[in-house]
């Protein structure tokens, strides 16, 4: 994700990164070259113009399709951000609540915190199809357990299972009752629910028929535009075609980029930053990581 100041208006107008220009330049250039050819033939060989009425009506329909496309994509983007916000909250809640009951067992609490910080890293890697990553805190975990988790079919689920096993060990050691374990494990369940929501977005693209029809309509509209403008605009048809093609292809490409917000595109969610934030927040609670020691209850 690109950080920017929304109050600085002119500063970003020359930016190429994140602007979709690189993605649409060849499509726009093809439209412009076509408009040059149409204008030259119309002015020097034979008339090429067509009535603009149908083209105007088609432009209204196409605009509505593009609005729906970008709104649907942004809904997916924002839902993904809310789901990752839920992951941030539940990891903090789990570490906070478990720290009260496990204050007397630094090793067990440390294992829970480290597995909890590993969950977002594993989830991000799974959503991106990247190699397994459990984050920096995995270095403090059992080498055998880490190897087993890395070899699991669904790594985030295996991490969540380790978290539940640590909570069960705390109950067996008598640090809390079974009903407390169930309440703590509810945070783990919510983490799995949030990941499942992210996988739903990631694995369910926009319907193929909608995507195909929209792109066909875009191509037909942009490449027929010079025919509708050439009689009235003359050589001004070329810059007019450029502006319209840039706007329409750019809007469609924005929808494509934010449709799946968990990738590595310039406008995707900053999953690395979110994972690092969770890791820093949770490890700060560990005494051996520089965090404050557990506070004993006031008698």
* Residue 98, token pair as written in the block: 């478990």
Provide the 3-class DSSP secondary structure of residue 212: helix
Q: What is the pLDDT of residue 8?
A: 75
Please provide the distance, in angstroms rounded to a whole number, between the alpha carbons at the two ends of the chain: 49
Q: Where are the domains of the chain?
A: 21-47+207-258, 51-205+272-285
Question: Which pLDDT does position 52 carry in this prediction?
Answer: 83
In whole angstroms, give the CA distance from residue 16 to residue 2. 12
Task: At 279, list the tokens.
Answer: 């890791």
Which of 111, 169, 282, 285 lies closest to 294, judged by CA?
285
pTM: 0.88
pLDDT on residue 244:
93
pLDDT at position 4, please? 66
Distance in angstroms (rounded) separating the CA atoms of residues 271 and 156: 15
**Averaged pLDDT in 10-residue chunks for the chain of 299 residues:** 71 72 90 94 87 86 90 94 96 94 90 95 94 90 92 94 94 92 94 96 91 92 92 91 93 91 89 95 80 41
Give the pLDDT confidence score for residue 294 in this predicted structure.
Answer: 44
pLDDT value of residue 56? 86
Model pLDDT, residue 264 = 87
pLDDT at residue 51 in the model? 84
**Three-state DSSP class for residue 286:** coil
- pLDDT value at position 39? 93
Q: Would you give the DSSP letter of residue 264?
A: S
Q: What pLDDT is recorded for position 289?
A: 55
Q: How far is CA 19 from the centre of its chain?
A: 17
Q: What is the dihedral of CA 176, 110, 278, 82, to 10 degrees?
A: -30
> What's the rounded Cα separation, in Å, for the pair 263 and 138?
23
Q: How far apart are CA 281 and CA 52, in angstroms?
A: 60
- Cβ 180 vs Cβ 94: under 8 Å: no
**Rounded CA separation 156/17 (Å):** 32
């Amino acid at each position: 994700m690109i950080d920017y100041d929304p109050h600085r208006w002119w500063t970003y107008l020359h930016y190429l990164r994140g602007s979709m220009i690189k993605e649409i330049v060849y499509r726009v250039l093809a439209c412009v070259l076509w408009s040059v050819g149409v204008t030259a033939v119309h002015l020097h060989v034979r008339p090429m113009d067509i009535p603009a009425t149908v083209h105007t009506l088609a432009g209204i329909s196409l605009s509505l399709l593009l609005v729906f496309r970008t709104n649907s994509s942004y809904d997916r983007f924002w839902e993904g951000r809310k789901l990752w916000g839920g992951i941030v909250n539940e990891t903090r809640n789990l570490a906070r609540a478990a720290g009260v009951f496990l204050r007397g067992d630094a090793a067990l609490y440390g294992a829970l915190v480290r597995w909890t910080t590993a969950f977002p890293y594993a989830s991000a890697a799974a959503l991106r199809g990247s190699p397994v990553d459990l984050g920096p805190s995995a270095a403090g975990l059992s080498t055998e357990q880490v190897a087993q988790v890395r070899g699991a079919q669904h790594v985030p689920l295996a991490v969540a299972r380790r978290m539940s096993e640590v909570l069960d060990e705390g109950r067996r050691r008598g640090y809390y009752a079974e009903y407390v374990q169930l309440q703590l494990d509810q945070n783990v369940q919510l983490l799995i629910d949030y990941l499942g929501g992210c996988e739903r977005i990631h694995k369910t693209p926009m319907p193929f028929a909608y995507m195909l029809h929209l792109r066909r309509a875009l191509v037909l509209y942009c490449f027929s535009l010079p025919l509708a403008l050439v009689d009235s605009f003359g050589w001004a048809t070329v810059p007019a075609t450029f502006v319209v093609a840039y706007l329409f292809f750019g809007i469609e490409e924005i929808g494509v980029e934010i449709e799946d917000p968990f990738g590595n595109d310039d406008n995707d969610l900053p999953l690395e930053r979110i994972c690092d934030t969770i890791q820093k927040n949770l490890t700060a609670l560990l005494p051996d990581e520089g965090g404050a020691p557990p506070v004993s209850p006031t008698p």
